[in-house]
């Protein structure tokens, strides 16, 4: 949100904020104010949905709403001018033209409907404001398509899905991550028998703590001992963070989102567990705030529930490391002259070699293994 700089009598632009690095666009959900309304500084103007989060854009100045430029339901790129605030009669400057042709706007419901019906959105004519494609347009296109064409499309093994919205943001972020970093993945099988035993004991006592919760607590403690991994790299500057703000990847139907457990190392286990559940529910119901899904200093992603042993997680920039967690499996282990069955989990640590070398990464995994082998302190 910036003031127009043409002269002292120009109205103030209210722009769509870019709440996170991966936010490319946002949808106007609802305007709280209308043209002609008087607003105070920091008064909510409009509710925005972006990357499965919702939040209000606040008034940058006091004044009167002179013009609303983006209608409810419309999706526009980050930093788009949403409205103008000033005094009645003030000059209103037209927003600068975009450097590239504007994209056809498509409502989120229309995208989902098109995917379900196998409709190519490039062939749909929008009837909404400014040519926006609505759910009605998708249904109309599907209904108007000749039956032989529908049969041909149904038998075709291919389909097209626009790389936009959350999927587009993830694609852009992961591509930038791979292109801009020197990523190296270290893997380690860690004996988690005692950790799983502790979780079962707590469950029997009525404490609903998961194995993942215990792993997250162990990771947070290990990061306190290895601050080089609890870091971010931006503009050629490495920042070591004193507080562990732990990102926990949550899979959604159309992508992945990373809510953040603030000060995870300082939280009691039951508090951390409750916060993880609360954040996961908020992102799944699209009620998380942008501040709840940004600003992590280290990320943990768990694919164990999908039967995955080990994998290569991609770093969530500007962080310098990410930890992948696989499933727990039983393996035979020598116990004197006997064989004992132990539960092991494969941990995959990806580091940005520009900021962290392999040895510090290996030491972090060693510390994590020590904590998991003797997990009683996790429940203090």
Catalytic site positions: 353, 357
CA distance 240 to 11: 41
Residue 328 φ/ψ, nearest 5 degrees: -85, 130
CA distance 105 to 125: 11
The token duo for 159 is: 């389909």
Q: What angle do CA 141, 142, 146 make, to 5 degrees?
A: 95
The b-or-e profile of 343-358 (16+ CB within 10 A means b, else e) is bbbbbbbbbbeebbee
CA distance 328 to 346: 8
Total residues belonging to the chain: 380
CA distance 281 to 287: 8
| Of 78, 77, 74, nearest in space to 108 by CA | 74
Q: How many CB atoms lie within 10 A of CB 231?
A: 21
Residue 343 φ/ψ, nearest 5 degrees: -95, 125
CA distance 71 to 48: 11
Residue 84 φ/ψ, nearest 5 degrees: -125, 135
Q: How many CB atoms lie within 10 A of CB 361?
A: 23
CA distance 10 to 55: 27
CB 300 within 8 A of CB 247: yes
């Amino acid at each position: 949100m910036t003031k127009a700089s043409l002269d002292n009598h120009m109205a103030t632009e209210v722009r769509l904020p870019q709440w996170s690095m991966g936010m490319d666009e946002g949808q106007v959900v609802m305007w709280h104010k209308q043209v002609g309304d008087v607003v105070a500084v920091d008064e909510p103007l409009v509710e925005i949905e972006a990357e499965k989060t919702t939040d209000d854009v606040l008034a940058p100045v006091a004044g009167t709403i002179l013009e609303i430029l983006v209608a409810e339901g419309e999706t526009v790129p980050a930093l788009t001018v949403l409205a103008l605030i000033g005094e009645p009669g003030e000059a209103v400057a037209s927003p600068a033209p975009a450097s590239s042709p504007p994209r056809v706007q498509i409502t989120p419901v229309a995208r989902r409907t098109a995917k379900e019906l196998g409709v190519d959105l490039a062939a749909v004519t929008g009837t909404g404001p400014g040519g926006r494609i609505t759910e009605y347009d998708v249904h109309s296109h599907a209904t108007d398509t000749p039956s032989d064409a529908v049969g041909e499309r149904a038998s075709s093994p291919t389909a097209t899905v626009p790389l936009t919205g959350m999927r587009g943001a993830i694609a852009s972020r992961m591509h930038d991550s791979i292109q801009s970093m020197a990523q190296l993945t270290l893997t380690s099988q860690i004996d988690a028998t005692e950790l799983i035993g502790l979780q079962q004991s707590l469950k029997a006592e009525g404490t609903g703590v998961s194995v993942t919760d215990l792993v997250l607590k162990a990771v947070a403690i290990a990061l306190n001992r290895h601050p080089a991994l609890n870091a971010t790299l931006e503009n050629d500057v490495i920042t070591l963070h004193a507080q562990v703000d732990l990102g926990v990847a949550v899979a959604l139907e159309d992508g992945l989102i990373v809510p953040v457990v603030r000060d995870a190392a300082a939280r009691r286990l039951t508090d951390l567990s409750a916060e993880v559940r609360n954040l996961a529910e908020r992102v799944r119901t699209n009620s998380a705030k942008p501040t709840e899904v940004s600003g992590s200093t280290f990320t943990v992603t768990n694919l164990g529930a999908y039967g995955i042993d080990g994998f290569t997680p991609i770093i969530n920039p500007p962080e310098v490391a990410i930890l992948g967690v696989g499933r727990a499996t039983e393996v035979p282990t020598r116990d004197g002259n006997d064989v004992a069955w132990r539960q092991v989990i494969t941990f995959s640590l990806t580091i940005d070699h520009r900021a962290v070398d392999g040895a510090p990464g290996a030491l972090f995994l060693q510390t994590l293994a020590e904590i998991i082998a003797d997990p009683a302190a996790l429940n203090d």
